[in-house]
Structure formats: C-alpha cells, structure tokens
Structure 1
Amino acid sequence: MLSNQVPPNSYTFPPVLKSAATYPPHLGTALHAQALKRGVLSDPFIQTTLVVTYARNNRVDHAWKVFEEIPYFCVVACNAMLNAFCTNGDIEGALSLFQRMPNRDVVSWTTVVNGFAVNGSYEAAIRLFGMMMAHKNVVDCLVKPNEATFVSVLSSCANLDSRAALDCGKQVHGYIVMNEVNLGVFVGTSLINLYGKMGCLNYAANVFDRMASREVCTWNAMISSLASNCKEKESLDMFEKMKVEGLQPNSITLVAVLTACARGNFVQEGLDLFRSMSHDFKVVPIMEHYGCVIDLLGRAGHLQEAADMIRNIPFQPDASVLGAFLGACKIHGAIELGEEIGRKMLKLQTQHCGQYVLLSSMNAEKERWDRAANLRKYIIEAGIHKIPAYITIELPDSQRLIDDGPIQ
C-alpha cells in the first residue's frame, strides 16, 4: 500500500496493529511512529489497539504511556489497559486502574477477576466476583456475568481445597441454573473440573450428562475426575466412550488415562497405551507421560523397568519423575536403585530437604547408619531448611467467600 503511494488513514492502522502483535516488538513501535507521522494517532481506536499491541509484546510501560494520552476514560480503552496489566502479572496496577474507573462493564469485572485467578489470588478473585454480583452501574442495573466470568470464578474455586470454595462453586452453579444460562462447553467443563477436584463425582457426572455439546476438554475433565477419585476402571471406560464418539484424544487426555492406569494398577493397559501414543493419536510423549508410566511401573514393583525408562528418556527427567521413582524405591526397599536416582535428584533440587530426608530414611531402614547420618549432616551444613508442616482449620465465618469485603 505504501509502495503504491496510497496514504493510510485512521481505518488502516487498527487491523495492521492487531497483526503486528504477533511479530517482534519493534514492528509495533514502527507502526506507532507511522500513525504519529500520518497525524492519526489521536484516533481512539488506534490508541486502544496500540495498548493491546504493546501488552501482547510484554511492554506494559509503553501501553501505559499510550493509555495516558487518551483524553477521556473510555471503558473500552480502560478494559484494554486492565488486560495489559493482568496478562503481564501487574495485578496491583490493574486494581488501581479498576478502582478509578467511573464506569465498569462485565468485561472490566471479568478481566480483573481472571487476573486475580491467573496470578494465583483465588480468594481475591472470588471476593471480587461477589462484589460484581452486588454492583450496579450508572443506569442502575446489575452487571450480569458472562461465560468468561463463570469460567474464571469456577476455576478459582477449584484451586482452593476447602469446603467454602465448594460452597461458592455451588452458588455459582445455582445462579447458572436459576437464570437459565446456557451450559456451554467451557462453563460445563469448569464445573466438572471443580466437582471432580472436590470429590463430588455425582455432581460432575450430572453436569456432564446435561451438556448438549462436549469437546475434548470436557471429556478430559471427566476422565481426570474419575481417575483422581478411585474410579480408575470407570475412567478407562470413559476414555473408550470418548473414542467411540469420534473425538481425538490429546496430550492431556493421555496424561489422565495413564494416571488412571497407574492408580488402578492396570500395568499392561498403561504400557500398551504409552507405546501406541505416537502411532494411534499422533501425540509425542512429554515429561508428564513419562512420569505417569514410571509411577505406574514403580507402584507395581517393576523398578528395574522404571529405572531403564528413566535412563532412556530423550530429555533430562525432572524432579517430579525422579521423585515418583524414589518413592517407589522406598516402598519396595530398592535401596541401590533409589540411591542412583536420588543422586540425580539432588543435582536438580539442591535445596529441597524432602529428597535428602527420604534418602536418609531409606538408608536408616537398611541400617546404613553412616550414610543416613551423612545425609542429615549435609542438610545442616548446606543450610537447607525443612519445610514446616501445617494444617488449616475452617471457622464458621470462613464458609462465605462471596462477600463485599476488601480485596486483598
């Protein structure tokens, strides 16, 4: 367009800037300069798109400078800046802007709720959702949550292992039912994931059965829920039903099924699935798949096979894989194999006390007191601190997470 001497205008830059968001950052800066040179930088659509472009390139400072030049608090521009803060981990900046906004729509609330959730502040996400449900906007009507809002708050509930979080999730589910909200794929999958993590398999199955449309992620959530609640055979049956429905299992599906095989001691089924992954499902095994198979072999006492697999993994095994094998060695008394793998673990997690303590205990059980004592001594000399144990106690007042209290 430029080479043909056609001057771009305010309609040209927004789509070009959106495309530039997936390219190196300097391209967005060059287009920013072009908009300034062409005299169209004051256009609000261009300014808002620049905020989005800089945010996607992790340049929040540039996005903020552009945002500050917008002459009035446009809710669309504010939402773009909120998203810029949240996606780049600056939840304090997002909350500060959110509190100064004269008007907030459902996107504003959902963006910050999701920002808290993504950054691990699950209780704050739930409390903000509660404030949203009680908030009235300038035309004196409640802001109604959308599908993205439900997914964010339900995911936050699923990540809090407490009765209060489960009660909150049930309240959200009740709202969905009472207001006849369409139980779409993402909301339904989030509910299944929540109920599965909380051990409420009947609720999870009920949601699954009521869903008019199910995607691979929905089946994954149900298979994983069964596998994690001692229903390993039912999990494998669900996997077979999924294939009958014509859906293609993905990497997450296979992790869930291999987990079910490990916990249910379905050794041959798990090994057959692992060996056929690439051919049957076009899924190349990653660390999580190897970890499941090593856990499968370790639980069944096939420690030599598990050790051979660890030695032949095409990449450096991580601490979770080695930890699963080390735990199996302790259970089955395989001290020599345990020490071999333990040495690898100590190189990966030099400051993690648990591996040293486990190796020390294994040696003590075999009455190798000198080795056990040396490991304990090394913990002290290296300044490695044991992680203190703790318990949580729910008080009656903590049963209510959705309230209008301050956001922490």
Structure 2
Amino acid sequence: MSYSGGFLLHLTQRCKKLPKQMKQIHSLIITNGHLLYHRIGPSSSLSHQWMPTLLYNALINAYHIHNHKALLLFTHMLANLATPNTHTFPPLLKISPLPLGTALHSQTLKRGLLSDPFILTTLLAFYARNNLLPHARRVFEEVPIFCIVACNAMLNAFFINGDMEAAVALFERMPQRDVFSWTTIVNGFASNGNFAASIRFFGKMMRHRDVLDGLVKPNEATYSSVISSCAKLDGKAALDCGKQVHGYVVMNEAKLGVIVGTSLIHLYGKLGCLSTADNVFRVMVVREVCTWNAMISLLASHGREKEALDMFEDMKQDGLKPNSITFAVVLMACSRGNFVRKGLELFQSMCLDFGIEPMMKHYGCVIDLLGRAGHIEEAVEVIRNMPFQPDASVLGAFLGACRIHGAIELGEEVGKKMLKLQTQHSGQYVLLSSMNAEKERWNRAADLRREIMEAGIQKSPAYSMVHVT
C-alpha cells in the first residue's frame, strides 16, 4: 500500500515520542521513496518539492534523543540532496559534541541560515554548554534585533560558566524581562554557591515593578531555587527566609506543586522541623516519587526509621514505583534502625521485583547495615561479590564497622586500600590512628598521625552549633 508524504509526515509528528511506532513509520517512509530528492519540474507544487526536507526534519527531531541515529539521518539527508533548513539544525546542535557542532555552525553559515534567531539561540547554548563563553558572546552579538529568548540564553551561558557579574550586567540592560530572566539569575547565584546573593536577588525581584505590576510572576523553578538556597544557609536566617517564601506561595498559588513542596520538605527537614515538613507533605495534592523520597529520607535521618519504612510501604500502596534513590534511603533507614533482615530483603527485591540494578551507594548502605549489626564476615562476603571494585564510601562504611567491633586486622587491610583511593583525606588517617590507639598500639597510631603532618594534609577543625528557635 502506498502512502503520501503528507500523511507520513503527520504520523511522524504525532508519534515522535513512541519509539516502536516511529521505527515502523520510518520504514514506511523509506519503502515509499519519500526521502529521495527528485528533480522537480515547474508543475510540481512547493510542498512536494520540500517534502524530503520536511520528512528528514521530522525524523531527526523524533530521533534526536538517540544521538547517532539523528546524526546518521542528517548525513543521509545531505547524500540524498534534501536541503537542510532552519528546522534541521537546532535538534542536531542540542546533541552534537564540540567538533561536530562547529561543523554544523559552518553549515548554517554556508547555507545563509545564521540570521535565524532560533538557530542563533541554539548555537549560543551549544557553545555555553561546552564552556566556550567567548564563542557564545560572538553568536549573541549576531542576533539582529532584541530577542528575549536569546538574552535569556546568554544569561544562562554566563551562569553556566560562572560569570555572574556579566549576567547581572546583561540583565540590567535588558529592556524587557520575563520570569525566565529573573529565575536564571536567582538560580545562577545558587548554582555558583552564592546562596545569600540568590536570596537577595529574589527579594529584589519581589519588590520590582515587573512583579508588582503583574508583568512577571514567580514560577515553581523560581521558588524551588530560592528555597534550595535557604536550605544551604545555617540557623535562623535560613528558616525565616524559607518561611517567608512558603507563606508567599500559600497566599498566591492555588496549590502546592511537586517541585516547591519537595523543596520545602528538604528545607524543613534540614533544619529539624519535622512536623512542619510533615504538614507540607500532607497538604500536597500531587506527590511524585521525589516527594516520597524526601520525606522517607527526612524520617530516616532523624531517628524515625520505622516510620520511614512504613512510609515506603504507603508509597507503594499509593501506586508509585520506587527508584534507586528510594532504595538508598530505605536501606539507610534499615541500617540506622538495625533492621538487618528487612534491609537484606529490600536489597534483594531491588533487582528481582523492580528491575533496579544496585549501585555503589546501595552496596555502601548494605555494608553499613551489616557492619553496624556486627556481621563483619557477611559484609566481607558482600564486598567480594560486588560486580565492581568498591569505592571509598563502601570501604569507609566497612572500616567504621571494624572500629566499632574491634576487627583491627581487617580494619588495617581496608584502611590501606582507602588511603590509596583518598590520599589527601585526613579522616581515614585519623580513624586508623584512633583504632590503633584504642587497642593500645601507640607506635602505629603515632606513625599514622606523623604521616598526616608529613603529607601536608589538613584536618578540618570540628565545631558544634546550637540552633535556638
């Protein structure tokens, strides 16, 4: 049966997120000969003339998450003399590595497409992603007229490359700003570790005429970014700022979204406000896996391990499928609550029941679980049977168990491996030294302390903090 190019183009656009159907449509396009460019006569319609280009563009856009397939289609497109246009290059630039991206840049210049704002913006983002800020600047300067999308892309380029001074300078020069402009600066400060500046800029946003006149309204990304910045601060300032943002959301939003709600749970959990975090969780209309993960982790971190495991069961009853992060936090709950059998059952169920391959962090939790309970030999067996070499986190959990249960010889063996992995980490030297001191092996303890000094390793000073509410 023969299908028209227009019909197959429509199917491609409708099914681009359905991989199985896309393969079938792709086969039909090939077998019907629609990807071949023909020398079109004067009587042919313009849509017929451009059909191969349109179909290639649709296929590239559908396959762009599979880098090699989209790039292969582009080479076929050139080989079959179909003409790339302004819709061809943006999806390719989003997936191309640096050398190929610069070649595509040359293609756009050669074909006279570089004046298109969409291509310019995608090129700008491409160079920013590859840490070529001067190239991104030059592309931005080629934008023919003011374009808020290009300006936002340039703001994003500055913050990706850590130049927040230039980002703010551009922001101040923009004749028009939208919520993405404001959010990019708020998030830029946060992403570069200047959390206080992120909060101050959010305050400036809320007092600015853009917001007061209703031209701009903060969105979930804005709220989430500033709440995350609050969580990075210490003490009362973090709590006060977080509560203010929370209050604004309650007053101005119809419902508490997943992203903002989850960020608030993280904030209140970090500050030890368990009841407030629980209230946020309860009022949320929609809860995703990340929300449950945040609440389970919060309970596990504050000595309420049984409640964390109960919530894990509630999550499954709610019809949500746990992910690898979920299992990491429930295994941590089992470890801290000394639920050895339950933890091992959960570890087994990861792969058997949910198809999740255990990662290093899961093995670290299991080693910690067995080590805390004194099952040193079982922990050794798990380490030996791991499908990959244990890293410092797994060995560190085992070393801590050796210290607790006095397995000094095993501890020495593991400690030597850890010192090779983390030569500049003072904690491993100190722990090994303490283990030897507890067994009155004073010479060995002194030797390890001396090694710290000779290697020039700095021990981080300890401190205590009391938060008064």
Normalised by the length of structure 2, the TM-score is: 0.78
Query: Is the Cα–Cα contact under 8 Å of residues 87 and 115 in structure 1 kept in the other structure?
Result: yes
Number of residue equivalences: 393
User: What corresponds to 2:400 in structure 1?
Assistant: 327
Q: What is the aligned counterpart of 1:167 among 237, 240, 245?
A: 240
The structure with the larger Rg is 2
Cα gap change, 1:283 to 1:355, in 2 (>3 Å): same
CA distance in 2, matches of 1:311, 1:369: 31
Deviation for aligned residue 1:181? 4.0
- The residue aligned with 1:129 is 202
Please give the residue correspondences for 1:1-400 in structure 2 after superposition, counting only pairs within 5 Å.
1=53, 7-8=83-84, 12-14=85-87, 16-137=89-210, 143-390=216-463
Cα deviation for residue 83 of structure 1 reads 1.3
Q: For residues 92 and 250 of structure 2, what CA distance do their matches in structure 1 show? A: 39
Structure 1 distance, partners of 2:294, 2:116, is 45
Q: Aligned partners of 1:378, 1:158: CA distance in 2, in Å?
A: 37
Greater relative CO (CA pairs within 8 A, separation 6+): 1
Between the aligned partners of 2:245 and 2:413, the Cα distance in structure 1 is 50
Write the deviation string for residues 110-163 of structure 1: whole angstroms up to 9, x where unpaired.
012112222332222112111111122499556321111011111222233422
Which range is displaced more, 356-365 or 324-333?
Answer: 324-333
CA, structure 1 residues 42+392, in 2 after alignment: closer, same or farther (shift >3 Å)? farther
Are 1:294 and 1:325, in contact at CA under 8 Å, matched by a contact in 2? yes
Percent identity for Structure 1 against Structure 2: 69
Number of the residue aligned with 1:403: none
Which residues of structure 2 form unaligned runs of 5+? 1-52, 54-77
User: Quick one: distance in 2 between partners of 1:139 and 1:265?
Assistant: 53
- C-alpha separation in 1, matches of 2:101 and 2:261: 38
Q: Unaligned 5+ residue runs, structure 1?
A: 400-408
Distance 1:141 1:227, change over 3 A: same
CA distance in 1, matches of 2:261, 2:418: 39
**Residues in 1 aligned to 2:347 and 2:172: alpha-carbon distance in whole angstroms:** 51
CA positional deviation for 1:302: 1.6
CA–CA distance in 1 between the matches of 2:277 and 2:217? 25
Q: Could you say if the C-alpha distance between residues 263 and 71 of structure 1 is closer, same or farther in structure 2, counting changes exceeding 3 Å?
A: same
Question: By how many angstroms is 1:28 displaced?
Answer: 3.0
TM-score, length-normalised on structure 1?
0.88
| Deviation (angstroms), 1:255 | 0.5
For residues 422 and 83 of structure 2, what CA distance do their matches in structure 1 show?
59
> Is the partner of 1:13 in helix, strand or coil?
coil
Instruction: Give the residue type in structure 2 aligned to 1:295.
Output: D
The separation in 2 between residues aligned to 1:225 and 1:124, in whole angstroms, is: 27
Q: In the alignment, is the contact (CA less than 8 A) between 2:265 and 2:277 conserved in 1?
A: yes
Partner of 1:406: none
Q: Partner letter of residue 297 of structure 2?
A: S
Q: 92-101 or 118-127: which moved more? A: 92-101
| Distance in 1 of aligned mates of 2:385 and 2:170 | 52
What displacement does 1:81 show?
0.9
Cα pair 1:298 1:324 within 8 Å, conserved:
yes
